[in-house]
Structure 1
């Protein structure tokens, strides 16, 4: 009878298993001395020995134990044993996923119960609800596309694919030439960065969102100009009783900070403690910078005595109003691939470029403010006349008042930081008597609709069908598509101390005619309440301004340029040569060729 006698193996009192090193050579039989110690699987062939003395094993043994062949890995994943000789060691503690979990996802079944109840009730009434539920379930089935019969039950013959309308509600369907929208040309900067400019700092919008500074009420220094009464008849304008927008030739001054004689006078006063001088339009852009998308730039001059002047360049972005800047699909350029191979022949594409819409919106905003002022009544005059108007200038002055206000941006009394801001008001509500001061000071702004079907409309509803019935939905859409513009309007009104902001809703009389517009309605807004509705924090805006002021304070006297990157949410701070010409480097504005479209152009549009 065959028998097997176990070999005698010496044991080690301090460790499990046989000893290592020279003692192992003496303790182990000669037949087992060449067998390596290595981990093993239950399916491996007999002849392998587990190494329980991991702590006392040699370096070669540990390296051999950590060596894993590709075949052993595949076998470990599949749960099978190797067909070759089991001499390849494997890491005992290696863990392999039994299956790929990359396709795992959490499914929201919150509406499934309602769908089942609807299907059940529909089946009880005659099957319409069950049919619709069957189509929806077929559309959401994972795997290959399934067919559905008209009754909602799956069928092999004569069936049809589940329609796209039965997909999840709110999902966007693909549009024409959507695949080309990712290939759009990057935006160009508002100013060209020269090679000799020195980059001092860079701030991203994530950092700017976290800044906070509480600023007290400002101090009024002086007031100039006059204000005409607002015409209350425009409060009754609606879609049914619209009024045409009438262009009026009025003179409105908006010079930059360094060209303002009043600011220069305040800066030269011996008792003046202010170090920063700026206008409300420039300050509003800085305070709303994290909402901006299009590029802009600001020129900063620091004098030897530490005074800082924030200026805009002539014909720069500050003189124009943007349209749908924050929309998910903003207006596209004329040569965008989405406009087709011959965009010059497309009338809708020519008049709906970002530059053309900006010119149109600026034109509408100015003329609406002129039109709603009642020039037949007596205006309210401030203590000083318009500081920019000369007797030799031609044209009738527009209703406008300039208030120079001082804001305290200090964080402690030992390091005071004061700012002088020139703000603007557009109209007023008369008081109880002719001699009484105005009961309300207001600013006038506009929101304009160009074409709800054109690219870049941002999903805005048709104002002619929704403005009177659902004005809240229209305003909410404008807050989404024009977040930066509305926040800028609101901040300017708060800085000027306006009691109300009058907003007009202006639309084209014809979607293909950018020259004729109609007033479709007006609304009153409290500036601070509107800021709350837009989730805008005034303290965050002041924190951004103080951070930029500190950058200039820490730098040596000279000229600087603050540039918003055209394609990234960052602001760059450069030092430029002292001979930098802030009136130059202006690109020619794109002409808006909006002549009467021919019939073929209308059909193609």
Structure 2
């Protein structure tokens, strides 16, 4: 008699779909369960194809069907691992792959051959060398690619991901600058403004009003305009006195403030830093004192305003050596090394020395032509002084910062000029033929921080434009500040000397290679310096400080970010009269 035996039923008391695999024998646990290896990075065409005919029982492509290739690289079978083996989850003809079986007559192939490079757009080195690590330069994406074994490749340039890294690129991101002033815990931050917001400000200011003039000017020596690299002239050490007094200590400004001549009082050095703030990279700080309805913009003694920067805007500017790690006893106990002559601090002191002596040397002190005395003598030269004064003239000028006719916001600026050009068609006392003198310095084109500057002795006479363009890029902030100072002073010409070391490894002897003359307003256009933007920044800072109560404030540029911050500080800060003498030094800074 026929009979039928029921197969064993494996119940799943926990619920869910299908029987419980825990009750199945080991040899039948995964029997008849469709599975295909997968990778999380694979793109799914369809979830599953239970009737997939693209593979046979052995997992190989069926006869008559093309073997598919994963779009993510390698050859047939999909992606390859680093060791050349097949990556997990990229089996040939995966069960999750999607195949379009319909015939479309409109389908056409796309030419995927490498396009020939455009004329003037680089070159490719082919043949055996290119296949075995030769160099291939591709400008389709603005970068440089090197193919073959042992080469480098990048989509967007040398320093981007996948590109070739330059000298010590791994260390550039870790370099941090210290603030120009130590932020005390007693200070309270009031405002913070990013540079991109400052760059959008604009205020048109009319011509200034001259109040008074002080000092004595010598004539500029025109023979310095004819110096070339073949007739270089040594830079001399000239012993002269030139004052750089801050705003509050100026006796003339004190008299003008007593008469309520203006609302804001500053010097051209301080004002130029504020007007060119979006270009600055190095840290700086301005002390702002509000007394009644007056604002005084001051600098600290020994602060960043007393020195000249070098290659501040270069891609890899000069760096100071890192301080010893206080947590490492070996570094802390080691004797401090002498700073390199090409460090940021050493180059700044060298540039300051060059600027002063070049200005002292390039004027005619013995008549003819005779020196020109302004309306009043030098206000900072005391009767007990015996050292000779440098050629310097101070012009006190008032600029109207009012937006409307009803606003009474004026700024009084002490400007400086260094010399005058004889025969300019007017008297220097009336503002004709005034000259400012500055100097650019070359230290070592092969040193770190040179910014790709060409050799001046080889290029200055034949390719001056290349030298000027490099200096405009590496010293954008410094040149902008010099130009703004010349415009504020009403100078007709700005003389810039090109001074290099006599030997690259000796920072004590220098030679004058050339001198350039330029008009400040025209040079401002070449540098893309907007005076209207600078005045807008000054007016914004003025309004911000006038909203605060009377007291002392510090405007600090962040050492590593394009940001300025306004802090409220105690009145005794930077004066040496702090009550807590144990915690602060004579300048009001926190001691370590």
Same fold (TM over 0.5): yes
Partner of 1:78: 45
CA distance in 2, matches of 1:302, 1:116: 59
Partner of 1:112: 117
Partner of 2:377: 385
Q: CA offset at residue 137 of structure 1?
A: 9.2
Q: Secondary structure at the match of 1:529?
A: helix
Partner of 2:67: none
1:328 to 315, 320, 323: 315
Partner of 1:362: 352
Q: Secondary structure at the match of 2:568?
A: strand
Partner of 2:472: 479
Partner of 1:248: 238
Cα 1:247–1:79 change in 2 (3 A) is same
1:455 to 415, 423, 448: 448
Partner of 1:314: 301
CA distance in 2, matches of 1:320, 1:313: 12
CA distance in 2, matches of 1:278, 1:366: 22
Structure 1 range deviating more: 484-493 or 375-384: 375-384
Q: Secondary structure at the match of 1:574?
A: strand
Q: CA offset at residue 145 of structure 1?
A: 8.7
Q: CA offset at residue 139 of structure 1?
A: 3.5
CA distance in 2, matches of 1:459, 1:326: 12
CA RMSD of aligned residues (A): 3.9
How many aligned residue pairs are there?
Answer: 471
CA distance in 1, matches of 2:553, 2:316: 33
Cα 1:336–1:429 change in 2 (3 A) is same
Partner of 2:25: none
Q: CA offset at residue 254 of structure 1?
A: 1.3
CA distance in 2, matches of 1:138, 1:512: 35
Partner of 1:179: 170
CA distance in 2, matches of 1:552, 1:146: 58
2:403 to 411, 416, 420: 411
CA distance in 1, matches of 2:121, 2:185: 67
The C-alpha deviation readout for 1:149-199, integer Å capped at 9, x for no partner, is xxxxxxxxxxxx5988x9999958645544333332x11111111111111
Does the CA-based 8 Å contact 1:139-1:167 persist in structure 2? Answer: no
Report whether the alignment pairs 1:429 with 2:434.
Answer: no
Report whether the alignment pairs 1:239 with 2:212.
Answer: no
The C-alpha deviation readout for 1:93-122, integer Å capped at 9, x for no partner, is xxxxx9779xxxxx9989714389999xxx
Partner of 2:203: 213
Does the CA-based 8 Å contact 1:344-1:350 persist in structure 2? Answer: no
The C-alpha deviation readout for 1:261-293, integer Å capped at 9, x for no partner, is 000011112xx3411111000000000001111
The C-alpha deviation readout for 1:119-154, integer Å capped at 9, x for no partner, is 9xxxxxxxx998999999973699x9976xxxxxxx
Matches within 5 A, 1:216-295: 216-269=206-259, 272-295=260-283
Output the TM-score relative to the length of structure 2.
0.72
Q: Secondary structure at the match of 2:537?
A: helix
CA distance in 2, matches of 1:471, 1:385: 40
Q: CA offset at residue 585 of structure 1?
A: 3.6
Report whether the alignment pairs 1:568 with 2:565.
Answer: no
Does the CA-based 8 Å contact 2:394-2:415 persist in structure 1? Answer: yes
CA distance in 1, matches of 2:466, 2:40: 60
Q: CA offset at residue 513 of structure 1?
A: 0.9
CA distance in 2, matches of 1:116, 1:445: 40
Q: Secondary structure at the match of 2:445?
A: coil
Q: CA offset at residue 579 of structure 1?
A: 1.9
CA distance in 2, matches of 1:333, 1:174: 22
Return the structure number with greater helix share: 1
1:375 to 365, 370, 373: 365
Q: Secondary structure at the match of 2:378?
A: coil
Q: CA offset at residue 350 of structure 1?
A: 1.0
CA distance in 2, matches of 1:108, 1:530: 49
Partner of 1:199: 189
Q: Secondary structure at the match of 2:44?
A: helix
Does the CA-based 8 Å contact 2:573-2:587 persist in structure 1? Answer: no
Does the CA-based 8 Å contact 1:199-1:573 persist in structure 2? Answer: yes
CA distance in 1, matches of 2:490, 2:218: 17
Does the CA-based 8 Å contact 2:575-2:588 persist in structure 1? Answer: no
Output the TM-score relative to the length of structure 1.
0.70
Partner of 1:440: 433
Q: Secondary structure at the match of 1:566?
A: coil
Structure 1 range deviating more: 109-118 or 401-410: 109-118
CA distance in 2, matches of 1:587, 1:476: 40
